Amino acid sequence: MLNLFLPGLTEVNGDLIYSFVLLSIAAILVLSYSLKLLFRGKAQFDRVDREGSSALLGKGIMEMAYWGLQPVGELFILLGFTPNAISFLSLFFGILTGVALAFGHFGSGGFFCTLCSLLDSVDGMVARKTGKASDSGEVVDAAVDRFVEFFFFAGLIVYYHNVPWLVILTLSALLGSFMVSYSTAKAEALQVKPPRGSMRRTERAVYLTLGAVLAPISIQSFELNANYPSSGLYPISIGYPMVFALFIVAVFANGSALIRLRAIANAVKGRKN
């Protein structure tokens, strides 16, 4: 139903094409950046340096991704897009992501989610390069990020609604995602620097998108004859990489949020003393 740009193909084959296209683009990016490392050295960006890395997402990967986005940012500037326009375009693809996932189209969902993540990085890039960075723009960007994440998880909940443990897992990942973001906002409001922690916005986007992109390959290879849940009206394929990504986000995001909130509370307590 939602293989919107691939008419005439079955749902599974259409999602597989989305997945293989994205994986191919990623492979090209890795090859291109490897050649750059070999002949010209690594790319360095202030934004990547400020955000830093974690055990779950290395700084080198972030530098490679940001390097690959530079031409995209220049294109949006050339076309006259404002940062807010790019943010709202990200929101549009976020809605499409949720709808795609609600129908079990992991490949197209991963494709739309990739576009969201790219646009989420590009809007800030355009704002800085055009001198249009502002506090109001940051508010719009942060709000769009929360909406996009909600649509992703909401789509999965709709799809997994007959499987209670998957609904609980998805809600746990949603809770962790929002609490990590809340801890960051609370720290900024209290002027406290929290531990960097793990599963911040960039890491969550990478793991969740990768889970969605790899799910059609798992379904094609292992789940074509799946009939789960057997008691449901509409048997579904689980998409094991998606479930694994949800588990990783649920565990590490909630753990990171608790550590960060405790550190913030201790810092404020120490300040008052």
* DSSP string over 127-163: HHHHT---HHHHHHHHHHHHHHHHHHHHHHHHHTTT-
Query: What pLDDT score does 246 carry?
Result: 97
pLDDT tens figures, 153-165: 999 999 998 889 9
pTM for this entry: 0.87
Q: Is residue 3 part of a domain?
A: no
pLDDT tens figures, 202-214: 899 999 999 999 9
Q: Please, which pLDDT band fits residue 228 given cuts at 50, 70 and 90?
A: low
Token pair of 141, please?
A: 């960007």
Q: Is residue 104 part of a domain?
A: yes
Q: Mean of the pLDDT values across residues 22-46?
A: 88
Q: Mean of the pLDDT values across residues 15-34?
A: 90
Between CA 208 and CA 120 the distance in angstroms is 15
Q: Mean of the pLDDT values across residues 79-91?
A: 90
Q: Is residue 253 part of a domain?
A: yes
> Domain range for residue 91?
11-268
Active-site hit among 15, 123, 141, 145 = 145
Q: Is residue 181 part of a domain?
A: yes
Residue with tokens 């750059």: 36
Ranking 47-56, 142-151, 152-161, 183-192 by mean pLDDT, the lowest is: 47-56
Between CA 252 and CA 263 the distance in angstroms is 16
- Residue 215 neighbours by CB under 8 Å, 6+ apart: 19, 106, 107, 110, 239, 240, 241, 242
Q: Is residue 264 part of a domain?
A: yes
Q: Is residue 83 part of a domain?
A: yes
Average pLDDT, the chain: 85
- With 50 as the cut, is the pLDDT of residue 270 above it? yes
CATH number of residue 216's parent domain: 1.20.120.1760
Angle CA 226–212–90, to nearest 5:
145
Given its phi and psi angles, is residue 188 left (phi above 0), alpha (psi -120 to 50 degrees) or beta?
A: alpha
Domain count, the chain: 1
Ranking 157-161, 199-203, 246-250 by mean pLDDT, the lowest is: 199-203
Q: Is residue 1 part of a domain?
A: no
105 three-class SS: coil
Q: Is residue 35 part of a domain?
A: yes
2 three-class SS: coil
- With 80 as the cut, is the pLDDT of residue 37 above it? yes
Q: Mean of the pLDDT values across residues 183-207?
A: 86
Residue 15 annotated as catalytic: no
Q: Mean of the pLDDT values across residues 248-259?
A: 94
Token pair of 143, please?
A: 């709000």
Nearest C-alpha neighbor of 16 from the set 237, 240, 219, 216: 216
Between CA 93 and CA 101 the distance in angstroms is 12
